[in-house]
């Protein structure tokens, strides 16, 4: 397994050599874009608009636009020379209670592994975070930007959560109809609460699977075999909100 980042994490004067690994796997089915007329693959080429030549990945550099047709070029070596400690070290700036961090700020997740010589300090940090029910916050320079991150003890080790900065999360009140309040009668509210409590149980994520992908595989198999594809039946809407609530409860009690 290949590490996506190598450096250190520090708190106070304690520095721990670490490596980061992706915590999630992509299991999406991959499709190629084809020409509907003859089935040929559609290729997306990188073409220079100045000379008209197709260029390879190795010939592409990043440029920051200063003015029209005027850029400052930045290479991978330039990014490595960034005058930031976060390129090589995650400095934990403070610790806090996990309940203070709203879930809307979470982004990607990475597992933290101790590098050679860092096992003892890694274990110490993990146990201390667990015993104090604390998370640490800091920054990491990775993939062309400085990311805000949080570190937490998780399932025998440490996990790093990439976070959105405060100004990157939109104000929900910018969304049409957000926070709208309408009048509902007491009976509807009581039925809704009764339905929620009837459906409430301990969460077991392993019970949930990607049924869309399963259906997609069946669709592909049917197309290969030349079989007819059955269309999913539409869910019939209840006549009213009250009818929907009552019917939902009745189906659970049946």
Residue 38 phi/psi, 5-degree rounding, is -130, 5
- pLDDT one-digit tens code per residue, 117-172: 999 999 999 999 999 999 999 999 887 788 999 999 999 999 999 999 999 999 99
pLDDT, averaged across the chain: 89
Domain around 249: 205-253
Q: Are residue 213 and residue 158 in the same domain, yes or no? A: no
- pLDDT one-digit tens code per residue, 167-224: 999 999 999 999 999 998 999 999 999 999 999 999 898 898 888 788 888 888 888 8
Helical segments of the chain, H only: 76-80, 119-132, 186-199, 211-225, 241-253
**pLDDT at residue 20 above 90?**
yes
Structure tokens at 32: 């190629």
- Cα-based distances in Å from 68 to 65, 71, 72: 7, 8, 12
Q: Are residue 9 and residue 91 in the same domain, yes or no? A: yes
Q: Are residue 23 and residue 92 in the same domain, yes or no? A: yes
Q: Bin 131: left if φ > 0, else alpha if -120 < ψ < 50, else beta.
A: alpha
Q: Is the dihedral of CA 87, 93, 96, 102 positive or negative?
A: negative
Average pLDDT over residues 54-64: 89
3-state secondary structure of 115: coil
Q: Which of 168, 189, 219 is the last residue of a domain?
A: 168
pLDDT of residue 50: 87
d(CA 193, CA 213): 33
pLDDT of residue 83: 65
Q: Which of 140, 168, 196 is the last residue of a domain?
A: 168
pLDDT of residue 68: 87
Residue 192 phi/psi, 5-degree rounding, is -65, -45
Please report, for the domain that includes residue 110, its CATH number. 2.40.290.10
pLDDT of residue 30: 86
The domain total for the chain is: 2
pLDDT of residue 233: 67
- Cα-based distances in Å from 214 to 28, 46, 202, 225, 227: 11, 35, 25, 17, 17
In sequence order, what are the beta bridge partners of 176? none
d(CA 22, CA 112): 9
More confident residue, 89 or 228: 89
- Weakest-pLDDT range from 12-26, 51-65, 185-199, 209-223: 209-223
pLDDT of residue 210: 81
- Cα-based distances in Å from 25 to 109, 161, 190: 11, 15, 41
**pLDDT at residue 61 above 70?**
yes
């Amino acid at each position: 397994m290949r590490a996506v980042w190598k450096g250190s994490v520090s708190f106070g004067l304690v520095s721990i050599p670490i490596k980061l690994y992706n915590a999630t796997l992509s299991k999406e089915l991959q499709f190629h874009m084809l020409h509907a007329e003859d089935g040929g693959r559609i290729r997306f080429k990188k073409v220079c608009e100045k000379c008209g030549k197709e260029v390879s990945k190795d010939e592409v550099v990043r440029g920051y636009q200063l003015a029209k047709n005027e850029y400052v070029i930045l290479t991978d070596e330039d990014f490595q020379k960034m005058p930031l400690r976060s390129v090589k070290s995650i400095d934990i700036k403070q610790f806090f209670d996990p309940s203070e961090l709203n879930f809307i700020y979470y982004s990607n997740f990475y597992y933290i592994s101790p590098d050679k010589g860092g096992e003892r300090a890694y274990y110490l940090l993990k146990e201390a975070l667990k015993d104090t029910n604390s998370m640490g916050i800091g920054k990491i320079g990775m993939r062309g930007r400085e990311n805000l991150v949080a570190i937490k003890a998780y399932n025998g080790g440490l996990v790093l959560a990439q976070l959105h900065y405060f100004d990157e999360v939109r104000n929900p009140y910018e969304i049409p109809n957000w926070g709208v309040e309408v009048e509902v009668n007491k009976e509807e509210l009581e039925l809704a609460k009764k339905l929620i409590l009837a459906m409430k149980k301990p969460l077991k994520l392993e019970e949930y699977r990607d049924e869309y992908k399963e259906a997609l595989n069946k669709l592909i198999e049917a197309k290969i075999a030349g079989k007819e594809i059955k269309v999913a039946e539409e869910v019939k809407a209840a006549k009213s909100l009250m009818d929907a609530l009552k019917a939902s409860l009745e189906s659970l009690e049946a």
